[in-house]
């Protein structure tokens, strides 16, 4: 597939906006006729761009995204350079991602759905710890977890909040998801679980009136939930482009050996 018709997006920083102007002047702007998106910013911009293509007019066949770092960390981005962009795009390696689909039921019975690229998280809303009951594929696996929260992370998201919560780093193509507690109080020794990517995870909120809980799919929050169901949506495939040797799977592997 050709990658020479580019549409550019950029974060609001001065550096990113300056890069946007220079690159559009040099390579043009294909707009709706583009066959690739070049994102200029950091990981926050990349996640926003991924969410936009998941829900846009071309959601059934979303455009691949090539990021160039104009932010801080840039774990999902390539190094910034203005020269030879068309060559870099032509030889770029593709990393395919599948998001999680969250289906949250509120205490009022209202159902809300959202997609998450990194993780779906549950958080206590007050000073009271959350009490959660966990089901995997219809079978109860943990009758009661007292904690600050719980998250289910994709491999792409396993190096983000999941890692900060002491969850495992997952190889990109391992076919597993990480179920990780956040500040577990009871049972103290439960450190989470690795689940097959086909798993259906359902979490019930115990004592929701006394211990309200919110559910968050990346940055989409639903407050005061009664339960949430989470599955991987294999019908949605997102494509990230990386320079040869720097694909997302390699970056995740490198993180496992970071000092």
Instruction: Name residue, tokens 């039921």.
Output: 105
Is 243 in the active site? no
Task: Please tell me which residue in 15, 43, 233, 243 is annotated as part of the active site.
Answer: 43
Q: Any idea which residue has 């089901």 for tokens?
A: 135
149 beta partners = 123, 182
Task: Give the residue ranges of the annotated binding site for NAD(+).
Answer: 43-44, 118-119, 148, 156, 159-164
Bridge partners (DSSP) listed for residue 115: 101
> Which residue in 99, 123, 112, 148 sits closest to 229, CA to CA?
112
Whole-number Å distance between alpha carbons of 102 and 156: 17
Residue with tokens 């004592």: 207
Look at strands 36-41 and 201-206 and give their pairing: unpaired
Rg over alpha carbons for the chain, rounded to the nearest Å, is 20
Residues with Cβ within 8 Å of 10's Cβ and at least 6 positions away in sequence, in order, are 16, 17, 19, 20, 39, 40, 41, 45, 70
Q: Which long-range contacts (CB under 8 A, 24 or more apart) does 251-257 make?
A: 251/75, 252/155, 252/156, 252/158, 252/159, 252/169, 252/170, 252/171, 252/172, 253/171, 255/159, 255/163, 255/169, 256/169
Residues with catalytic annotation? 43
């Amino acid at each position: 597939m050709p990658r020479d018709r580019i549409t550019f997006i950029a974060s609001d920083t001065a550096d990113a906006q300056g890069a946007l102007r220079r690159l559009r002047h040099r390579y043009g702007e294909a707009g709706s006729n583009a066959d690739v998106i070049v994102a200029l910013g950091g990981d926050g911009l990349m996640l926003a761009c991924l969410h936009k293509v998941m829900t846009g007019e071309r959601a059934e066949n979303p455009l691949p995204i090539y990021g160039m770092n104009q932010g801080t960390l840039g774990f999902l981005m390539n190094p910034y350079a203005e020269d030879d962009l068309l060559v870099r795009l032509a030889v770029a390696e593709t990393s395919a991602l599948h998001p999680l689909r969250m289906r949250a039921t509120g205490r009022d019975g209202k159902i809300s759905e959202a997609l998450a690229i990194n993780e779906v998280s549950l958080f206590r809303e007050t000073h009271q710890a959350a009490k959660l009951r966990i089901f995997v594929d219809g079978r109860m696996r943990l009758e009661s977890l007292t904690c600050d929260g719980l998250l289910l992370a994709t491999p792409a998201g396993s190096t983000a909040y999941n890692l900060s919560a002491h969850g495992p780093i997952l190889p990109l193509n391992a076919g597993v998801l990480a179920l990780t507690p956040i500040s577990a109080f009871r049972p103290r020794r439960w450190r989470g679980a690795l689940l097959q990517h086909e798993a259906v995870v359902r979490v019930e909120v115990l004592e929701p009136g006394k211990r309200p809980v919110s559910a968050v799919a990346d940055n989409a929050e639903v407050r005061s939930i009664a339960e949430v169901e989470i599955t991987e949506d294999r019908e949605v495939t997102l494509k990230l482009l990386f320079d040869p040797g720097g694909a997302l799977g390699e970056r995740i592997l490198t993180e496992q050996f970071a000092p």
